Structure 1
């Protein structure tokens, strides 16, 4: 009897390391929420039916992702007349995804546009529910990857920046923070489900969506005519609107940015006394509409701003 027990003990001792190894190896997979059709590192183009319409979005899963820990999620919206592939190419967020380990998504708007506040084209004129579509994308990503629900972010440029602003107003329950490049909130009020941090990056020489705002060119014309923004809120007025919406204190933090070659006076301003969130404005003096450095589609000069927008966003705003 003692001999049998001794052999059993020796066998159990021999199996114990393998059993522990199995348990520790299995734990990360069990902890991840995804069970089927899970995303692995690589690039995806996903088409889905939403609201009776075929919608599409591009996804990049960085090489560092293995599903064992929750990672941030970013939605990066393209500008009017562009598409997800264009934003993926130029915004800089693809490189940041690989560097920082978050999953990046570039949604496609219908007819190359988004239904932001007062812009743009058919998506706006037809009142397409792009907030609902974006929520569905976020939910889909949470189902197929280990996403940190407390670190879901949105950004975008021009019309896409307007879409990021709208998400801050209407999807704050699932989005932690938003950064708009070259588009204001474009309204005086909204009612986020919870406090949310919002920033804008804007150039003073922007001739597409003016930094100082503008009114329709002729009397009696509306600010928005069939999705075309004839009048637009100024960047500083947008900041003031967010200050009111978030109930921020009057204390404004100010910081000068590098001058670069022709950007003397560029600055970062931010309200920090907003009940645990922040809102601010990055002003690029002499900056034009597209502020992504390296972008050459609208001209040959790749120097667009004294900051590199994508890493600046993650270093200052989407802190991890």
Structure 2
């Protein structure tokens, strides 16, 4: 009986994720461009926002926004607000779609089609970068990725294996998969901005099983340690706190910054103490008793973009191994 109850609960969670911003999702909004590319036997789709009023000689940053499990690129576009920032600050925003609404992010699980069929999502990302760069003026030193949950896992996964491409990533409520960490070996330093809630019931801060039998992850601290070692940052972080601007949300944000990585990289953690499986500053997409609460002390979308703006690739050379 307990197992059936838990299964129902997690089913409701992922249904909530899937229904988030669902209305009108089948139509491509006028401000977006829909693209389809062939990867192996699969037709892969993504939506693209390209800002207007930009000089033809200007190279633009490229930001991948990767949906969570059960989501789509269009739902992320409607939910998180990156398009408004892209229009204002002139960057290209990409909203790709995973096979079966999931990314193959290095976890061992049969709960999603992407994992069961071992979908080559890495090839999909590489082809998107190539296709977009052939069509538009992309700044090769300002290619970034972010996303919540499964999208956060995949941000770590893709950056570790395409570190020559990505300048920085921002995984939100998503970590590094176990056993993928065993082959974690980026060839170049990548700046990383982790946003994790300590009261996340689906992606536990201290590692373990994801959302009941959806694979495993290592702890947040261990994931940070992997990136710090790869980047060669200072061993001790600079510690701080964000202002507790909303005292009703049950959340306070501790900040940790590991500086002086190779090629001026940094690793940053926003530790949302009391935060749940949510995107800070966004909507409460499911009841608190299922996913925890939303941290209201900062807007994660704006924070992620500010981090990306200040962390381009400085020098394109391999990490020196000790």
1:215–1:50 Cα change, 3 Å = closer
The reply on whether 1:197 has 2:191 as its aligned counterpart is yes
Structure 2 residues not aligned, in runs of 5+: 1-29, 313-322
Q: What is the match of residue 46 of structure 1?
A: 35
Tell me which moved more, 135-144 or 236-245: 236-245
1:269 counterpart residue number: 256
- Structure 1 residue 216, shift from structure 2 partner: 8.6
Q: How many angstroms does 1:255 deviate by?
A: 1.5
- Asked if 1:256 corresponds to 2:241, the answer is yes
Match of residue 279 from structure 2? 291
Q: Which residue of 1 aligns with 2:300?
A: 309
Q: Who is 1:100 aligned against?
A: 89
Match of 1:149 in 2: 140
Structure 1 residues 292 and 45: alpha-carbon distance in aligned structure 2, compared to 1, 3 A threshold: farther
Matched, 1:71 2:60: yes
Q: 1:28 — aligned with what?
A: none
Identify which range, 183-192 or 83-92, moves more after superposition.
Answer: 183-192
1:42 deviates by 3.6
Check conservation: 2:44, 2:97, Cα contact below 8 A: yes
Report SS of the residue matched to 2:146.
strand
3-state SS of 1:312 partner? helix
Aligned to 1:211: 205
> For structure 1, which segment, 237-246 or 296-305, has the greater mean C-alpha deviation from structure 2 after superposition?
296-305
Distance of 1:257 and 1:118 partners within structure 2: 32
Q: Name 2:17's counterpart in structure 1.
A: none
1:282 to 2:267 alignment? no
RMSD (Å) for aligned C-alpha atoms = 2.4
Contact 2:64/2:144 (<8 A) preserved: yes
Q: Write out per-residue CA displacement over residues 32-51 of structure 1, whole angstroms, 9 at most, x where no aligned residue.
A: xxxxxxxxx94111111112
Structure number, greater radius of gyration: 1
Cα 1:294/1:216, change in 2 over 3 Å:
closer
The runs of at least 4 consecutive aligned structure 1 residues that moved more than 3 Å come to: 262-265, 299-305
In structure 1, the gaps of 5 or more residues are: 1-40, 218-223
Determine if contact 1:168/1:198 at 8 Å carries over to the other structure. no
- TM-score normalized with structure 1 length: 0.78
Q: Distance in 2 between matches of 1:312 and 1:119?
A: 31
* Partner of residue 24, structure 1: none
How far is 1:84 from its partner?
0.7
* Alpha carbons 1:45, 1:57 under 8 Å: kept: yes
Q: Is the 8 A contact 2:160 2:186 kept in 1?
A: yes
Report how far residue 266 of structure 1 moved.
Answer: 1.3
Q: CA offset at residue 215 of structure 1?
A: 4.9
Structure 2 length-normalised TM: 0.78
SS at 1:266 equivalent: strand
| Distance in 1, Cα, partners of 2:96 & 2:306 | 23
SS of 2:298's equivalent in the other structure is coil
- Which residue of the partner structure matches residue 223 of structure 2? 238
Q: Matched residues in 2 for 1:182 and 1:215: separation?
A: 14
**What's 2:8 paired with?**
none
Task: Report the CA distance shift for 1:296/1:192 in structure 2 as closer, same or farther (over 3 A).
Answer: same
Q: Secondary structure at the residue paired with 1:116?
A: coil
In structure 1, distance between residues paired with 2:117 and 2:257: 35
